[in-house]
Amino acid sequence: MVKYIGTRDLQAYLATHPLPQVIGGMLAYLHHDYLRWREFDKTARVASHSAQGVIELMPISDGRLYCFKYVNGHPANTAQGLLTVTAFGVLADVASGYPRLLSELTLTTALRTAATSVLAARQMARSDSRVMAVIGNGAQSEFQILAFHHQMGIEVVRLYDTDPAATARLMRNLRACSGLQLIPCASAAEAVRGADIVTTLTADKRRACIISPAMLEAGMHLNAVGGDCPGKTELHADVLKAARVVVEFAPQSRIEGEVQQMPADFPVTELWQVLAGHAPGRSSAAEVTVFDSVGFALEDFAALRYLDEQVDARFTRQLDLIPAMDDPKDLYGLAVPATLWKEQANA
Amino acid sequence: MVKYIGTRDLQAYLATHPLPQVIGGMLAYLHHDYLRWREFDKTARVASHSAQGVIELMPISDGRLYCFKYVNGHPANTAQGLLTVTAFGVLADVASGYPRLLSELTLTTALRTAATSVLAARQMARSDSRVMAVIGNGAQSEFQILAFHHQMGIEVVRLYDTDPAATARLMRNLRACSGLQLIPCASAAEAVRGADIVTTLTADKRRACIISPAMLEAGMHLNAVGGDCPGKTELHADVLKAARVVVEFAPQSRIEGEVQQMPADFPVTELWQVLAGHAPGRSSAAEVTVFDSVGFALEDFAALRYLDEQVDARFTRQLDLIPAMDDPKDLYGLAVPATLWKEQANA
């Protein structure tokens, strides 16, 4: 049997385990796994492109556990009431090849992405950061805001979205969060003004310029989450030139991240190097820093490990995805029980 | 919701749908999809190797449907009472990226492999074939025998396995099958003698020589199923030299199949070419033919299509692997219901 965590199970878990605590828990798993960077077999993700979008498989292994995530990206889905991005994943034992956990990852990806953003910002943003701008108030925005509020001490969030209804939904969803001031703004430039941290979460599948060089202020940290596939960027190239740029996995980020705009030798630092102390996340209070985040398989690995270890049996089910057998060589006996041998073999 | 077919569901389906009929049904789907060969986006499989075995993801798409199979291969598993090979797969809609079916594929792989063997043999074996040798009497053997008995008119099966208990299990499982004569043999050479078709299903992960040139007889068809990964072969190289060789997908078979032993320009024909009438499966009654089968993603695609279309709702369940949402931009509302906004955001 394979352990299963579906949407309902995760909802039930989150009803008794507050979101900031769960994000904090995942953050610890992420930190632990990023420090083991060299132990991972980092395979490229396998993409199947179509006119409507992309379906990807993202496998990774540390030699003891293996996981993959299935994730799609279909920008036109929302017009049909469907999610742009859905995901699920499997954690398996390398020694036997048997899957041990199948889990929803649509919600979980939002949690692990917020946790990853904080993991980078703890090393890269100024420690006295209190004001964050959030450009793009879609599906991921509340998770980012709660994570930065609880883990980084952000008290004021300046909001902008081309769709005012998105900002209104965000403010409604988070209105009960005490100690957090939410300020809707009329433009990205207005939202960014005075911010210590700028989080970009836009979804347009094109080269956009959400942040221009004129909007930068000394000491700003940019948490660039929205640009995550070829042809989809959010930052002006000159913003990258002016900043210290940290990525997750350089070979992938040079194809999918903001740095796809830059030459192949544009200097980037990998997040694990910063976390391990091999490179600084920030060199001065005035430096501009960019975390060019695209999402990496190691983050799903850490999230699945968290779910496998932290979500107790009350919130999981057992699924007969893989047969349990008395005699593993008798697959036929599994397909056709002895009582049916005669009629099934002769039909 | 995603449709789900687990081990129990497939067992229930097979309890009312005889195995030969189900294999015959899959055979029709396989034939249909192999004739559409050029419509498929044939991605390479992604393997994660370890000392104990391999975990692979096999994706493929025809532009309308996408599927992948998760499959492991761990030869030492049986010592722990586990299966050497387990598998599951997902069928998804390319237009939305949403998965539509999650299914067990451990049993199903055995069914589709038997169906693929018959699909090739119908074009390659002599039509008056009545005697088959089966070398290797493990998990897949009964399925192959039933398929060849019902679809190809095989009446006599000569059996050999290095483990006599495996042969005994096979004979017990199929003893109720009328019109089928099962003859245990003392060696592979004895089993092969006088056979019209020779099916090799051995599992050793090494270069073996199950069939040597001296064992060949005029007009024989070899259905070589067991050699399916680098370093694992069953036929002597001279057997291949003496035969017309058909493979599933040449780039994959030259790495994983019997033809891995041959130079890169060794002539092979792809199965779809034979099925489409572009190339003969056999040129004379005396020719020796080899179907060098390794298993290809298109076969799982056809099997998943069969399951999706033919297994009715009595035998499927609904799984909340992907969330259903009123507002696809309100992921936070899915994670934290309005009644919990206050306590969850402030915990």
- A49-53: list long-range contacts, CB under 8 Å, 24+ apart: A50/B61, A50/B63, A50/B94, A50/B95, A52/A76, A52/B94, A52/B95, A52/B96, A52/B97, A53/A77, A53/B97
CA separation for the pair B93, B304 (Å, rounded): 13
Who among A6, A41, A173 is closest to B332 (CB)? Answer: A173
A88 in contact with B at a CB cutoff of 8 Å? yes
What is the location of CATH 3.40.50.720 in chain A? Answer: 126-295
Strand partners, B249: none
Which of A21, A320, A342, A343 is the best substitution to test chain B (most B C-beta atoms within 10 A)? Answer: A320
| Residue A228 designated active-site | yes
Contact flag A142-B332 (C-beta cutoff 8 Å): yes
Per-residue pLDDT of chain A (347 residues; tens, 9 = 90+): 999 999 999 999 999 999 999 999 999 999 999 999 999 998 768 899 999 999 999 999 999 999 999 999 998 898 888 998 999 999 999 999 999 999 999 999 999 999 999 999 999 999 999 999 999 999 899 999 999 999 999 999 999 999 999 999 999 999 988 899 999 999 999 999 999 999 999 876 677 789 999 999 999 999 999 876 778 888 999 999 999 999 999 999 999 899 999 999 999 999 999 999 999 999 999 999 999 999 999 999 999 999 999 999 999 999 999 998 888 889 999 998 777 767 767 76
CATH code 2.60.40.10 for B126-295: no
ipTM score for this prediction: 0.92
> Domain A2-107+299-337 adopts which CATH fold?
ornithine cyclodeaminase, domain 1 (3.30.1780)
Alpha-helix residue ranges (DSSP H) falling in A214-340: 237-241, 250-256, 271-275, 297-310, 331-335
User: What token pair was written down for B256?
Assistant: 């994983």
Q: Which chain B residues are closer than 8 Å to A201 by Cβ? A: none
CATH code assigned to B2-107+299-333: 3.30.1780.10
DSSP-assigned states of every residue in B20-53: HHHHHHHHHHHHHHHHTGGG-B-PPPEEEE-SS-
User: What token pair was written down for A194?
Assistant: 């005075």
Q: Which chain A residues are closer than 8 Å to B114 by Cβ? A: none
Cβ atoms of A97 and B74 within 8 Å: the answer is yes
User: What token pair was written down for B52?
Assistant: 């104990």
Window 24-43 of B: residues touching A by CB (8 A cutoff) are 41, 43
